[in-house]
Chains A and B, each alone.
Chain A
């Protein structure tokens, strides 16, 4: 409904609000919006998660398939990402939608497809020939700002939920045969100790806000994407947006994002553990 261009007056109002630490919806600069996360909702996947927030709905599904390893990393499995924004209102996106989804996909790949994040070596079946490839697909049903952060939280939850079936290798007359077991007890869980969550820090005026809405994103002069994991280490940084940043600003943003990410990571882990324990019946997609 609202266009991506805001009038000067509205922009000024938002900028002044941020300066006074009172944003349009009353949040402080480092407050995240409340969100709901559910896992295990799509039965055909090895792991799935859905993140819902007012105005944002992201669904992530992970499928594990056996495939060839990448050329440069023949001993490890890898991740392949795809972000599907087609249901999302395309007039809201500046520029071509293909570029937008490519940017998101590449950022996620860069951050998550690395030994620093997941134990990719454990996804090897036959070194150099057959590995598990995790296809992580995110479908954006609707979005109200801060899309990459939401996708990253959903991806982390989906990885927690992922179960990879056990594989046994049979050597018959020189031909290696793979047998995937159907036993649910033979499934492997992935360790998400080092999986980060992305916190995007937007520079609005002279201050930084976390979890920006769409209007706030229009007013931001520079954005720094910071991936923070459970150990409070920085996994990735990426500056985006049309403005430039002072080096000191960058250091301050890193610190702000890290502070905001600590409670986020903790709460997310608690929610995921609680969900796993309660094991309630999923009552359908739109049940509240």
Chain B
């Protein structure tokens, strides 16, 4: 492809005055900007994205979060809400209490605050809708399959709530009660709610395998179609 006087976007490079693609994927033209978006790649974060991440390391004043990107994302201590909702400078005591708040293996929902020079993301959970995720199931799909929407938190009519992280991590949980802050590890999910979660999980995995875009409507339609079958008879 020989294009002159155009801007190079992601997934392209210039050689001998010719613009060439460096990945196999879709070409997107926005005015003069030409990008090639690969079908399968690690998550490339952008500011404002909602992600679901797994804590991998507790470090000095920060947590390292796995968001299926090239580098682990960072969640600074200053970027989380203190328990109790206080507003103050973080002290040494807070550093020691970090492990109490979030430890290795915990799941969080967060928003991308900024992107560093090397491509790693800085996350924050400075809002009541973000935070630790406790009761539910995690499903991983390719990030390209998540459709960008206005909101990524959905309370589906079938009786479950899902968070479609832009990074391909999807969190399915039973409908959150009003006092979601008091959610402890104690369980109070009934078998019916569990079946709904399991059914949704199988639906999402089936859609992912067929490379279909995931958003609330597509998942709801698939769910309704699956009601004809027993959950335990699903293929996966």
A283 CB to nearest chain B CB (Å): 21
A182 CB to nearest chain B CB (Å): 43
Which one of A1, A9, A27 lies within 8 Å of B135 (CB-CB)? A9
A20 touches B199 (CB 8 A): no
Judge whether B163 is part of the interface by a CB distance below 8 angstroms. no
Q: Once the chains are docked, how many angstroms separate the CA of A23 from the CA of B107?
A: 20
Judge whether B138 is part of the interface by a CB distance below 8 angstroms. yes
Judge whether B194 is part of the interface by a CB distance below 8 angstroms. yes
Listed in ascending order, the chain B residues whose CB lies under 8 Å from chain A are 54, 56, 66, 68, 103-107, 132-138, 140, 185-187, 189-191, 194-195, 197-199, 201-202, 205, 231-232, 234-236
A7 touches B107 (CB 8 A): yes
Annotate A1-28 by CB proximity to B: 1 below 8 A, 0 otherwise. Answer: 1110111111011001100111111111
For residue B189, which residue of chain A has the nearest CB?
Answer: A16
Q: Once the chains are docked, how many angstroms separate the CA of A20 from the CA of B187?
A: 11
B105 touches A5 (CB 8 A): yes
Known A26-B234, A33-B236, A54-B236; judge A9-B198 contact (CB<8 A).
no
* Interface SS majority for chain A: loop
Note all chain A residues with C-beta closer than 8 A to B132: 9
B187 touches A16 (CB 8 A): yes
A3 touches B66 (CB 8 A): yes
Judge whether A73 is part of the interface by a CB distance below 8 angstroms. no
Q: Once the chains are docked, how many angstroms separate the CA of A23 from the CA of B236?
A: 12
Note all chain B residues with C-beta closer than 8 A to A7: 103, 105-107, 134
Excluding A3-B105, A12-B134, 10 further A-B contacts by CB distance (< 8 Å) are A9-B134, A9-B135, A9-B185, A13-B136, A25-B198, A25-B202, A25-B236, A26-B195, A26-B199, A54-B205
Judge whether A31 is part of the interface by a CB distance below 8 angstroms. yes
For residue B104, which residue of chain A has the nearest CB?
Answer: A5
A6 CB to nearest chain B CB (Å): 5
A1 touches B105 (CB 8 A): no
Q: Once the chains are docked, how many angstroms separate the CA of A10 from the CA of B56?
A: 15
Note all chain A residues with C-beta closer than 8 A to B54: 2-3
